[in-house]
Amino acid sequence: MTIGVGDKLPDTMLTRVTPDGPDQVSSQEFFAGRRVALFSVPGAFTPTCSARHLPGFVDKAEELKARGVDEIACTAVNDAFVMGAWSKSAGSNAVTMLADGNGDFVDALGLTMDGSKFGMGTRGQRFSMLVNDGTVEALNVEALGEFKVSSAEHLLDTM
């Protein structure tokens, strides 16, 4: 079953990328008591993710925060070291990277995709969501191969 607006996020472990290295955090703890703009990409360093998705959230960070977002986070089925390297190369300090190395989080959300055709295995679908104290306030899931509704601009338009 796919998560929907009004649902509580499932509690799984994620790895937050910090300047001091990887830090394990439960999704329940990470999203508690604040409003988070979360977006998911199929993979760090992939073309659309690197050229448009992540830069869009970096560029719109101040606008999102002006509309009541406490934190912006990106998740992908990659390990924390890859997510950290991607963040550093993209200069994306405005976005917290959350590694979902085994895909447990996106699996629990019901938002996995099969990237085997591209040699990527099971990955998270491209989506954005607004999470308020652990509850999904808005959810925008892309059709496979598209980049329309999960952008920072679209999320801002729905707020």
What are the catalytic residues?
49
Determine the Cα–Cα distance for residues 77 and 62; give it in Å rounded to an integer.
26
pLDDT given for residue 26 in this prediction = 97
Express each pLDDT in 68-118 by its tens digit: 999 999 999 999 999 999 999 888 889 999 999 999 999 999 998 777 787
Q: State the alpha helices, DSSP H only, in 1-144.
A: 27-31, 47-48, 54-59, 61-66, 80-90, 104-109
Confidence check: pLDDT of 47 > 80: no
CB-based burial of residue 149 (10 Å sphere; 0-12 exposed, 13-18 middle, 19+ buried)? middle
pLDDT given for residue 1 in this prediction = 66
Average pLDDT, stretch 6-35? Answer: 95
pTM listed for this prediction: 0.93
Determine the Cα–Cα distance for residues 30 and 145; give it in Å rounded to an integer.
29
Express each pLDDT in 122-156 by its tens digit: 778 999 999 999 999 999 999 888 899 999 999 99
pLDDT given for residue 9 in this prediction = 97
pLDDT given for residue 125 in this prediction = 93
CA neighbor of 123 nearest in space, from 94, 139, 145, 138? 145
| Full set of structural domains in the chain with CATH | 13-157 (3.40.30.10)
Q: State the alpha helices, DSSP H only, in the chain.
A: 27-31, 47-48, 54-59, 61-66, 80-90, 104-109, 152-157
Question: At 121, is the pLDDT very low, low, confident or very high (cuts 50, 70, 90)?
Answer: low
Which residues pair with residue 18 across a beta bridge? 21
Contact yes or no for 148/141 (Cβ under 8 A): no
